[in-house]
Amino acid sequence: MGKSVDALNAAINSKKIPIVTLDNKWHKLWTMIDKTPEVEKLENSLNELLKRQGKLNTESKELKKLKMKLMDEIVSCMDDESKDKKSEENKRLIEECNEKLAANDEELLDLPKDIEDINRKIMYITVDMCYDALHENEKDIDELAAWVDSIRIELKKNVVRKQEMEIHNAIMYSYMHDIFGPDVIDLFDMKYDPTEKMIKLKAIREEQKKQKEKETEKEDNSESKK
C-alpha cells in the first residue's frame, strides 16, 4: 500500500470503528470487489460473537427477572412454615441464577475486546483490498484516457481527410460536368451535387475556423493573466 501499515493502524486506531458487518455500505463495497475466503471467515466469526453477546445479554435479563421473582416468593413465604420447602427450592434456584449470571458477566467482559479485535482486522483488510482495487482501476482509467485521446486525434485527422476528399470530388465532378456535359455524366450514373456539397463543406470550414479563433483567443487570455 502507499501508506505504511503503522500509519494505517494509527489512523484506524484513532477512530471508533462501527461494527462493519452491521453497516450496509460495508456490504455494498463487496459487490464491487471480490470477497476473499479470509474476509468471509472473519465476517462469520464476528457475527457469531455478536449473536453470542446478544444471547448472553438477553439471558442475563431473564435470569435477573427470575431471581427477583424467586426472592419475592421467599419473602411472601417467610411467615408460612408450610412453605419452607418451597423457599428452600427457591434459594437453590437463586443460587443457580447467581452462578449463571456470574458466568455470563465474565464472558460478557471478554466479548467486546474479541469483537473489536476481529472488527478492526476486517477493517484493515477492507481498506487494503479497496486501495488495491482503486489503484488498479486508476491504472485502467489512465490507459483508457490515453486511448481516448489518441482516438480523438485520429478522428480529427480523418474528419479533415474526409472533408478534403469531398472537396476533391466536388471539384473533379464540376470539371467533368463542364467538359463532358450533364448527358455524359448521367450515363455513368454519377449522381453528385457539387453545389450542395460545397455549401455544406464551406459551412463546416467556417465553423472550424471560428472554433480555432476562440481557442486561440482563450490561450492568449490565459497567457496575459500569467
Q: Do residue 102 and residue 158 come from a single domain?
A: no
Residues 118, 42 contacting (CB under 8 angstroms): yes
Q: Do 111 and 174 fall into the same domain?
A: no
Top pLDDT among 186 and 157 is at: 157
Structure-model confidence comparison of residues 102 and 80, the more confident one: 102
Residues 115, 57 within the same domain: yes
Predicted local confidence at residue 1, as pLDDT = 47
Q: Are 107 and 158 within one domain?
A: no
> What percentage of the chain has pLDDT greater than the value 70?
80
Domain contains 145: no
pLDDT-derived band at 206 (thresholds 50, 70, 90) equals: confident
pLDDT the model gives residue 215: 78
Average pLDDT of the chain is 82
The yes-or-no verdict on residue 189 having pLDDT over 70 is: no
Residue 88: pLDDT band (50, 70, 90) is confident
Domain membership of residue 139 (yes or no) is no
Answer whether 106's CB lies under 8 Å from 129's CB. no
**Cβ count within 10 A of residue 87:** 18
Residue 102 has pLDDT above 70, yes or no: yes
Domain hosting 162: range is 151-225
**Domain count of the chain?**
2
In SS3 terms, the chain reads as CCCCHHHHHHHHHCCCCCCHHHCHHHHHHCCCCCCCHHHHHHHHHHHHHHHHHHHHHHHHHHHHHHHHHHHHHHHHCCCCHHHHHHHHHHHHHHHHHHHHHHHHHHHHHHHHHHHHHHHHHHHHHHHHHHHHHHHHHHHHHHHHHHHHHHHHHHHHHHHHHHHHHHHHHHHHHHHHHHHHHHHHHHHCCCCCCHHHHHHHHHHHHHHHHHHHHHHHHHHHHHHHHC
Are 121 and 162 contained in the same domain?
A: no
For the cut 80, the answer to whether the pLDDT of residue 66 exceeds it is: yes
Last residue of a domain, one of 96, 131, 166: 131
Looking at the structure, tell me whether residues 19 and 111 fall in a common domain.
yes
Q: Is residue 33 part of a domain?
A: yes
State the burial class of residue 32 (Cβ atoms within 10 Å of its Cβ: 0-12, 13-18, 19+): exposed
Query: Nearest 10 degrees: CA dihedral of 111, 114, 116, 121?
Result: -160
For 37-51, 52-66, 72-86, 211-225, which range has the lowest pLDDT when averaged over its residues? 72-86
- Highest mean pLDDT among 76-80, 99-103, 166-170, 220-224 belongs to 99-103
Residue 142 lies in a domain: no
User: What residue has cell string 471480490?
Assistant: 34
Residues with Cβ within 8 Å of residue 141, at least 6 apart in sequence: none
Residue 141 lies in a domain: no
User: In the predicted model, is pLDDT for residue 82 greater than 90?
Assistant: no
Residues 117 and 174 in one domain: no
Same domain, yes or no, for 75 and 31? yes
- The pLDDT value recorded for residue 186 is 67
Domain boundary at 64, 99, 131, which?
A: 131
Tracing cell 483508457 back to the chain, one arrives at 144
Indicate whether 2 pLDDT > 50: no
* Residue where a domain terminates, one of 84, 100, 131: 131
